[in-house]
């Protein structure tokens, strides 16, 4: 299928306005403004919602735009979500049906410049938002630092977790709503169960489902080096277990670093992956699973890679699940440069479906660096996207976005991967990508610097359709 050219200038310079095909400019900030840190979600109807940070309004604030057609086009104007007059940062977004929730760090309170956690929500698919932002952490004077919000949503419920310094060292807190945003917790619930403020607990991630199961995981240093801990709720986040669970298992607590947890929930199961240094300085990817309660983890974590322990460096894991199938992707330098690998289980993580993982990038093994995989599953169509430096022959540091896919639930992957962004290869950076399979189409959202400053872009097209570079036209002003 060949689609027409989709170019949106939005204040871009004329010498770059026709530089790519099938990439849509999402933000409307001028070329002098940096738009960064895009986060997105896609609902059951294929509507895409995107938030990011930019400073067009005197200070960096949270902005929003949306697409009703799977990313082929976006609204002609952006919506400013944050209402403060000082810096807002680090947004997170989740959606369920027409309910959309956005949380972020905000420095509007107090004189110390510390962050609080704020939330905004829409119940009509992003067309309207609340008149006022809502602060979630119990710190109206901004006396303590709250960071790293993460949001999940299912049905009419939503949950926000963050790390909070109110008791000393960071602890993990959660606020919930079960009524489409209209009734958030009066007081946040603490999730980690060691003594208040006694050890560093940070970088939380969260997942929830329509049945009221909620799973939170984080990095925790209560025993020395960082371990992965989790806690779960089966009543929609109203209560959590009185004792959290160490997920990484195996060696003595705190004996080696486990970090960067990622989680998924499906089919009455929860899954966690992380990068782990128990086998040496080279990290490995480990995996654990839990029932719907979120509090009965397997006693031993499983190693995902099929090569020898610690022989190669494996990092930046991603996980996705549907039914009892769970898919894990990661970057691995066993052949020199980092490549992207994928492995999966069809029995809720009890065993792996193949003896070896599948390699996603299809240039020569280890030829170039490939980083930061993301996964999307839609029925039998599985896809993995990543950042790729194969065309950065001069070592400038510019990259492109690629993906590979299987139309047969992992049985067959493509022998040629698919390039996503449509400017000249390795002519800019492309970072912070999110990626979705929506029926027979894929959508990618990312930030790149093709016009000199960072802007937000999206590409929506048929599964397997390669991007096409169009040579820029001459600047009309020069004629």
**Strand partners for 332:** 314, 339
**SS3 for 378?**
strand
Instruction: From 378, 273, 288, select the one nearest 330 (Cα to Cα).
Output: 273
Count of positions (residues) in the chain = 479
Percent of residues, the chain, with pLDDT higher than 90: 88
Instruction: State residue 128's pLDDT score.
Output: 97
φ, ψ of residue 155 in degrees (nearest 5): 60, -130
pLDDT tier at 105 (50, 70, 90 boundaries)? very high
Q: Does 235 map to a domain?
A: no
pLDDT tens for 416-430 read 999 999 999 999 999
Residue 134 clears pLDDT 70, i.e. is over it: yes
Domain count, the chain: 1
**Pairwise CA distance, residues 325 & 347, whole Å:** 6
Torsion angle of the four alpha carbons 342, 348, 353, 356, in this order, in degrees rounded to the nearest 10? 40
Q: With contact defined as beta carbons under 8 Å apart, do 6 and 471 qualify?
A: no
Of the given ranges (249-263, 269-283, 310-324, 369-383), which has the lowest mean pLDDT? 249-263
Q: State which residues form the domain around 78.
A: 37-164+173-190
Taking residues 117-121, report their average pLDDT: 98
Instruction: State residue 20's pLDDT score.
Output: 52
**Torsion 119-73-361-368 (CA) sign:** negative
**Pairwise CA distance, residues 130 & 199, whole Å:** 36
Residue 186 clears pLDDT 80, i.e. is over it: yes
Residues contacting residue 231 through CB under 8 Å, at least 6 positions apart? 191, 192, 193, 216, 240, 241, 244, 245, 294, 295
**Pairwise CA distance, residues 301 & 284, whole Å:** 12
Q: What is the average pLDDT score of the chain?
A: 92
**Strand partners for 215:** 207, 232
pLDDT tens for 309-336 read 999 999 999 999 999 999 999 999 999 9
**Torsion 431-434-438-440 (CA) sign:** positive
**Strand partners for 160:** 151, 175
Of the given ranges (170-179, 248-257, 300-309), which has the lowest mean pLDDT? 248-257
Residue 302: alpha-carbon gap to chain centroid: 23
Q: Does 94 map to a domain?
A: yes
Place of tokens 């002003």: 477
Q: Does 186 map to a domain?
A: yes
Q: Does 254 map to a domain?
A: no
pLDDT tier at 472 (50, 70, 90 boundaries)? low
Instruction: State residue 249's pLDDT score.
Output: 87
Residue with more model confidence, 175 or 15: 175
Q: With contact defined as beta carbons under 8 Å apart, do 367 and 387 qualify?
A: no
Domain with residue 77: its CATH number is: 2.120.10.10
**Pairwise CA distance, residues 301 & 364, whole Å:** 32
Residue 69 clears pLDDT 90, i.e. is over it: yes
End-to-end CA distance of the chain: 35
pLDDT tier at 11 (50, 70, 90 boundaries)? very low
Instruction: From 325, 387, 374, select the one nearest 353 (Cα to Cα).
Output: 325
Q: Does 437 map to a domain?
A: no
Q: Which contiguous run of DSSP H or E holds residue 100?
A: strand 99-106
Of the given ranges (9-18, 155-164, 378-387), which has the lowest mean pLDDT? 9-18
Q: Does 64 map to a domain?
A: yes
pLDDT tens for 354-404 read 999 999 999 999 999 999 999 999 999 999 999 999 999 999 999 999 999
Q: Which two three-digit tokens encode residue 426? A: 């390795």
Instruction: State residue 6's pLDDT score.
Output: 27
Q: Does 318 map to a domain?
A: no
Read off the pTM: 0.93
Q: With contact defined as beta carbons under 8 Å apart, do 377 and 384 qualify?
A: no
Residue 292 clears pLDDT 90, i.e. is over it: no
pLDDT tens for 39-55 read 999 999 999 999 999 99
Instruction: State residue 113's pLDDT score.
Output: 92
Q: Say how many CA atoms lie within 13 Å of 89 toward its Cβ.
A: 13
Q: Does 359 map to a domain?
A: no
φ, ψ of residue 476 in degrees (nearest 5): -60, -30
Instruction: From 152, 46, 151, 176, select the one nearest 98 (Cα to Cα).
Output: 46
**Pairwise CA distance, residues 437 & 384, whole Å:** 10
Taking residues 249-257, report their average pLDDT: 87
């Amino acid at each position: 299928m060949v689609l027409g050219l989709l170019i949106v200038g939005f204040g871009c310079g004329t010498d770059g306005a026709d530089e790519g095909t099938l990439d849509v400019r999402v933000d409307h900030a001028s070329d002098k403004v940096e738009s960064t840190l895009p986060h997105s979600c896609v609902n059951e109807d294929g509507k895409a919602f995107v938030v990011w940070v930019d400073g067009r309004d005197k200070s960096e604030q949270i902005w929003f735009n949306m697409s009703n057609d799977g990313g082929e086009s976006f609204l002609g104007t952006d919506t400013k979500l944050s209402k403060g007059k000082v810096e807002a940062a680090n947004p997170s977004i989740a959606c369920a049906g027409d309910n959309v929730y956005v949380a972020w760090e905000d420095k509007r309170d107090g004189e110390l410049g510390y962050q609080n956690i704020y939330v905004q929500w829409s119940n009509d698919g992003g067309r309207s938002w609340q008149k006022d932002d809502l602060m979630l952490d119990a710190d109206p004077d901004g006396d303590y630092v709250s960071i790293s919000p993460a949001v999940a949503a299912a049905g009419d419920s939503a949950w926000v977790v963050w790390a909070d310094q109110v008791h000393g060292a960071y602890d993990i807190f959660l606020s919930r709503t079960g009524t489409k945003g209209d009734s958030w917790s009066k007081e946040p619930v603490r999730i980690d169960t060691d003594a208040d403020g006694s050890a560093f607990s940070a970088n939380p991630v969260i997942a929830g489902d329509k049945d009221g199961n909620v799973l939170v995981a984080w990095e925790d240093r209560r025993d020395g080096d960082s371990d992965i801990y989790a806690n779960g709720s089966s009543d929609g986040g109203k209560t959590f277990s009185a004792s959290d669970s160490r997920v990484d298992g195996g060696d003595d607590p705190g004996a080696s670093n486990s970090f960067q947890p990622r989680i998924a929930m499906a089919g009455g199961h929860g899954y966690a992956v992380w990068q782990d240094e128990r086998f040496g300085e080279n990290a490995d990817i480990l995996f654990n699973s839990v029932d719907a309660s979120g509090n009965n983890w397997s006693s031993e974590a499983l190693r995902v890679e099929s090569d020898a322990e610690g022989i190669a460096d494996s990092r930046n894991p991603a996980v996705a699940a549907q039914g009892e199938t769970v898919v894990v992707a990661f970057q691995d330098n066993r052949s020199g440069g980092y490549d992207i690998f994928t492995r999966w289980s069809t029995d809720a993580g009890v065993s792996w479906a193949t003896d070896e993982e599948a390699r996603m990038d299809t240039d020569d093994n280890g030829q170039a660096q490939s980083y930061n995989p993301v996964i999307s599953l839609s029925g039998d169509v599985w896809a993995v996207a990543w950042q790729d430096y194969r065309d950065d022959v001069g070592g400038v540091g510019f990259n492109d976005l690629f993906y590979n896919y299987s139309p047969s639930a992992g049985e067959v992957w493509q022998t040629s991967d698919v390039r996503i962004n449509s400017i000249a290869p390795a002519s800019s950076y492309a970072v912070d990508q999110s990626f979705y399979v929506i029926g027979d189409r894929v959508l990618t959202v990312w930030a790149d610097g093709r016009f000199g400053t960072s802007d937000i872009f999206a590409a929506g097209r048929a599964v397997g359709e390669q991007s096409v570079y169009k040579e820029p036209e001459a600047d009309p002003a020069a004629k």
